A and B are shown apart, each in its own frame.
Chain A
Amino acid sequence: MNGAQTLDAWLKVQAIRKRFGARPLFDKVSFEVARGQTLAVIGASGSGKTTLLRILAGLDRDHQGRIFIDDRDVTSLPARQRQALYLYQEPLLFPHLNVFENIAFGLRLRRLPKTQVREQVEQVLGEIELQGLDARKPESLSGGQRQRVAFGRALVVQPALLLLDEPFGSLDPETRAAMQELFGRVASQHRITSVFVTHDLKEALRVGDQFGLIADGRLRNYIDRAAFCADPDSGVQRELRFWEALRVEAIGSGAKPTP
């Protein structure tokens, strides 16, 4: 399963090796992601999920192996030229800019005309359901709103690759579910290719089209949900057994679900 091949691969990662001093972190990690698909990657803490994203983003270039985005070899390119946008675990916004300017940040860098910037930002504000909050400063937003702004700021520059590092980890369950739904909808609408790292199995199953499991310096690649669920190491079977046992226990005790 390692290094699974798909047709129309947009992102190709070939034999990535990474060491931290004497400790090897990755040994020949290879995978591909088709255009417009989301690869959901799970793994234990310290397994290298964040490092993998940083390597793909070009923020960590001290590694071996090659990376291709849309058949373009980006291995030696700096982060700013990769069009691979990294979304942090915490909704990291520029504190000196309001919501509008945070979203417009990438467009300002590209020196687009003012009217075009306004049009695009307003469109994105609508998509992330934050109309009317454009003048607000980051500190006055909730965690969910901040994450939406961060997502909108990524969306507006139409990145070739979106890299999400447990982006909804700090949100409450309700907001988290809403953000997962928003991400799924917008990613599919814009055909965004993304790598979504999470330690939450349910979240991975919700957002992913393809699946990956990082363990022991390797990435196991699963072409679809069925393959992922069938692997005992993915944790899905264990999770199902837990809920099944709970269900049987509830039935045995005669408890009825509340309407």
Chain B
Amino acid sequence: MVSGVAVASAAGANAAVIRAGSTSLLCVLIAVPLVLLLLLSVTRHWSYPGLWPDALQWSQWRVMLSGDRGLLDALVSSLLIAVIVAVGATTAGFLTSQRIAGHRRRGVLLMLALLPFAISPVVLGVTLNYGFIRLQLAASLWGVILAQFLFAYAYAVLLLSGFWNTRIAALSELAESIGADRFQIWWRVRLPLAAGLLGVSLFQTFLISWFDFALARLIGAGRVQTLPLLVFDYFGSGDFRLAAACGVLLVGLPLAAVLLNRRLLAWPLTAASSRV
């Protein structure tokens, strides 16, 4: 009996160690690149094999924030594109996913929504570029928005299709039975119930656009400058410190949004547990 208890407590201790170890590993894997990026952005000289930079400086941040190197324009473009893509894709995705949920060929349509992810963005960008040149959308802000929208929209459809279950259908019917018209069903039932998931969709589709490089490069053709393109340009010209400073801005904005609103990450988990 005693040995049984001892074995159980040893197994419990092992499980705790494994849990703590895997959590620490996860934190390190996430934190190390971020810390390194931040450090690089303020480094003046870092010689091998030193674990810490020899000297720090803020000059790359001053250069960046002065707006002389096109950062402000790229930031505004990136924000504008990402906001339009996120709002457009989430709105269209929500409406489309509702239609798909009631469709008899639901499985096939959801498979189609997966297609953009089965094709490489570069391949799709090259293909789109041909069509966009014909439509005079190449090398324009709207061309980049439309190209990114295709990916973000497909993603939003896949994410939001999980919302349309039998319970939502029953609640919608119930509201109609009480006297709600179509608008009232959307406004008073569906939208409030989907608010959390819509927030997640807005955030995720914003990220798809915010971090996109291939489509912005191919469709924008150098005329549309975004933050990821700027980071790559700085890096390509050997100015890795400025690239790092720009990278901090690129990563920092969505990170701040997540920290300010943790529900953006937590919602899918809580929703999954509440459905059980």
Contact = CB atoms under 8 A, between A and B. Distances in A.
A78 B174 contact: no
A96 interface: yes
B3 interface: no
Nearest to B189: A94
Nearest to A78: B176
A46 B249 CA distance: 61
Contacts of B175: 94, 105
Given A92-B170, A96-B193, A86 B179 contact: no
A27 to B, nearest CB: 26
Nearest to B180: A109
A110 B179 CA distance: 8
A54 to B, nearest CB: 9
B171 A59 contact: no
Given A79-B173, A88-B170, A92-B171, A106 B189 contact: no
Interface residues of B, number: 16
Interface string B164-201: 00000011011111111100100011001100000000
A83 B179 contact: yes
Contacts of B178: 80, 85, 105-106, 109, 153-154, 157
A95 interface: yes
Interface in A86-117: 86, 88, 92, 94-96, 105-106, 108-110
Interface residues of A, number: 24
B163 to A, nearest CB: 13
A48 to B, nearest CB: 18
Given A106-B179, A153-B178, A86 B173 contact: yes
Given A94-B189, A109-B184, A80 B179 contact: yes
Task: Pick from A79, A83, A88, A92 the residue with the most CB of B within 10 Å.
Answer: A79
A109 B184 CA distance: 7
B177 A79 contact: yes
Nearest to B192: A96
A146 to B, nearest CB: 13
Task: Pick from B173, B174, B184, B188 the residue with the most CB of A within 10 Å.
Answer: B174
Interface secondary structure of A, over-half rule: mixed
Given A96-B192, A96-B193, A106-B179, A86 B174 contact: yes
Contacts of B179: 80-81, 83, 106, 109-110, 157
Contacts of B177: 57-59, 79-80, 84-86
A80 B170 CA distance: 14
Contacts of B173: 59, 79, 86
A60 to B, nearest CB: 10
Contact of B174 (A81, A88, A110): A88
B193 A80 contact: no
Contacts of A153: 178
Contacts of A57: 177
B60 to A, nearest CB: 48
A86 to B, nearest CB: 4
Contacts of A154: 178
Contacts of B176: 59, 78-80
Interface string A47-84: 00000000001110000000000000000001111011
Nearest to A97: B192
B136 to A, nearest CB: 45
Given A79-B176, A105-B188, A94 B181 contact: no
A94 B170 CA distance: 10
A80 B181 contact: yes
A105 B189 CA distance: 10
B125 to A, nearest CB: 41
Task: Pick from B171, B176, B179, B188 the residue with the most CB of A within 10 Å.
Answer: B179
B236 to A, nearest CB: 50
A109 B176 CA distance: 10
A108 B188 contact: yes
A95 B174 contact: no
Contacts of A59: 173, 176-177
Contacts of B174: 86, 88, 92
A104 to B, nearest CB: 11
16 contacts: A57-B177, A59-B177, A80-B180, A84-B177, A85-B177, A85-B178, A88-B170, A92-B174, A94-B175, A94-B189, A105-B188, A106-B179, A109-B179, A109-B188, A154-B178, A157-B179
Closest 10 CB pairs of A and B: A106-B178, A86-B177, A96-B192, A79-B176, A109-B179, A80-B176, A80-B179, A79-B177, A109-B180, A85-B177
Given A80-B179, A84-B177, 10 more contacts: A57-B177, A58-B177, A59-B177, A79-B177, A80-B181, A83-B179, A85-B177, A108-B188, A109-B184, A157-B179
Interface of B: 170-171, 173-181, 184, 188-189, 192-193
